[in-house]
Structure 1
């Protein structure tokens, strides 16, 4: 089995459909189907069962995937060590972050990167999904969750209080809610949090008496909904102030702050182009004069 065949096998085992595997591999799905069928013919074994639910590994397929994963780890280690030895302040750096953090902090930092290191090219991905640095899905991740891995280098960029905000228009129409109750008020919420909690809260106050009028799965959509006067919402105080929103119940905050972490793989932290980007990102979150 060569590495190209191993990549096809791993992608299909993880994604379970030709279409999704093809998207991950950036090829057409006919290619994936043809290569997997050829691999099965070469090995003389059936690796997948074709079921209505998708491609399911056979017992022999599980053995093949285990061996392919070892090839993958070796390939990733080679790539990390090669890239880590690169002292050129040029080339590609991939950053994964959220939409809000990208617009407010990362993109302004990239302007400075471009001015001082014009040969560095940044590929920026804005998504709420957690990426895997160990599998080289990105070089730098900026997230509000602290990962737990000995292979990763962490740096806390910010720790912000979470406050309750509304637009001036909303407060003019609906008034300020009585402290400790959302009765008679509309709410804009972060959808994953709202769905996952038996008793969701805003600034640690139960939301039960309020009416959810918009649930968003991205920070920028949440902030925009509050700014448009759809309802009250909980966002980092730093971002609410940037948006010019009105703070409601300013003495109340969520018990847990909103933390921003920058994460990279330890093999890449001394790479010149990655280091140049990291330095500017740190400055952007530190603020002017830092």
Structure 2
């Protein structure tokens, strides 16, 4: 690739998979981007993208070039960071990808505390109902509920967390799981469960859900309106109308992992932020779960 500008244009299209989506990143119009990509392919004598009405998909060569270009981009960013003092300052922009449960109920407090201690740090939370693609640099790091098995990634366990059945405190009491029959069950849209660890229906013994969403925050609101469902304990303090129920009959444990691209190991700044995010999540999960236990429904 002849210059950094070619690399910037190529990476933008590779990551966004369309000219129109990449245009704001490059400050170029789609037609200009198309000409730049065509010129780059001509100079290489090979196609980097398969073009279709759905967008620009990378060829095998394009994927190899994307990985090399992304590594070069990271090395450049690290050199800039080092020239500014490296690990001594937490500054600049950090984007964290996460499922919406973490994004809604945990990361706002953790990121706010980190930014308060580092006023020149810009924290961004990317909430997605899918796994964040770090290879495409969608984020600097990601929180997941399953450790990825492939890719050039650094994976570390953050903490376990608990989930229990919950329903409104003023709903008719339940002594067994059978007492919940006939009440609307809240959960994920079955064909939109993007991680097996989010499939709770087997544990509940329910054949389906009557109220469903791909968003944990929406599910919580559905249970507040009418229904019963499996809820993160750390989300319950945000819904004071709800109580954990039948905790001795159904309890789930899941795990959060922090995932970074392997190149992040070379960045003192990203390492410091990752450590702070992990410590903050451990403390926040413990704090909120403690509150949830204190407000359990009484045994009747």
Q: Pick the TM interval, shorter chain.
A: 0.7 to 0.9
**Bigger share in helix:** 2
User: Could you tell me which residue of structure 1 aligns to residue 284 of structure 2?
Assistant: 284
The offset of 1:216, in angstroms, is 0.9
Cα deviation code 1:83-120 (max 9, x no counterpart): 47442133332222233323433222333324432222
* Residue of structure 1 aligned with 2:213, choices 211, 216, 222: 216
The answer for the alignment partner of 2:30 in structure 1 is 29
Distance 1:33 1:83, change over 3 A: same
Q: What is the distance in 2 between the residues matched to 1:29 and 1:267?
A: 34
SS in 2 for 1:95: strand
How has the CA–CA distance of structure 1 residues 137 and 215 changed in structure 2, closer, same or farther, with 3 Å as cutoff? same
Match of 2:294 in 1: none
CA distance in 2 between counterparts of 1:87 and 1:224 reads: 43
The unaligned stretches of length 5 or more in structure 2 are: 291-300
Q: 1:47 to 1:263 in 2, by over 3 A?
A: closer
| Structural RMSD (CA) | 3.9
Q: Is the contact between residue 143 and residue 256 of structure 2 (CA under 8 Å) also seen in structure 1?
A: yes
Distance 1:178 1:194, change over 3 A: farther
The Cα of 1:233 is off from its aligned counterpart by 0.9
8 Å CA contact 1:48–1:56 kept in 2: the answer is: yes
Deviations 1:55-76 (A, max 9, x none): 567xxx6446534542333333
Contact 1:87–1:271, Cα closer than 8 Å, also in 2: no
Q: How many residues align structurally?
A: 276
Displacement of 1:224: 1.3
TM-aligned CA distance change 1:269 to 1:106, over 3 Å: farther
Change (3 A) 1:86 1:146: same
1:240 aligns with 2:236: yes
- Superposed counterparts of 1:121-132, under 5 Å: 121-132=122-133
State the alpha-carbon separation in 2 of the partners of residues 50 and 89 from structure 1.
Answer: 40
Question: 1:72 maps to what in 2?
Answer: 70
Shift of 1:135: 4.9
C-alpha distance in 2, partners of 1:86/1:14?
Answer: 28
- State TM-score, norm by structure 2: 0.71
1 CA distance for matches of 2:50 and 2:270? Answer: 43
CA distance in 1, matches of 2:275, 2:204: 42
- Work out the CA distance in 1 between the residues paired with 2:130 and 2:28: 22
Structure 1 stretches lacking a partner, 5+ long: none
CA distance in 2, matches of 1:227, 1:31: 50
User: What TM-score, normalized by structure 1, do the two folds share?
Assistant: 0.73
CA offsets, 1:187-235, max 9 Å, x none? 11112577688xx754713212x6x332111111111111122x21111
The aligned counterpart of 2:206 is 207
Preserved contact between residue 165 and residue 247 of structure 1 (Cα < 8 Å): yes
2:96 corresponds to which residue?
95
In structure 2, distance between residues paired with 1:43 and 1:263: 34
Q: What corresponds to 1:266 in structure 2? A: 265
* Greater alpha carbon shift after TM alignment, 75-84 vs 242-251: 75-84
> Which one of the candidate residues 132, 151, 154 is aligned to 1:152?
154
Q: Is the 8 A contact 1:167 1:226 kept in 2?
A: yes
- For residues 133 and 51 of structure 1, the distance between their equivalents in structure 2, rounded to whole angstroms, comes to 24
Q: Secondary structure at the match of 1:66?
A: helix
Provide Cα deviations, 1:8-46, integer angstroms capped at 9, x if missing partner. Answer: 445556665433454676754223222123334545666
| Cα distance between partner residues in 1 of 2:138 and 2:28 | 17
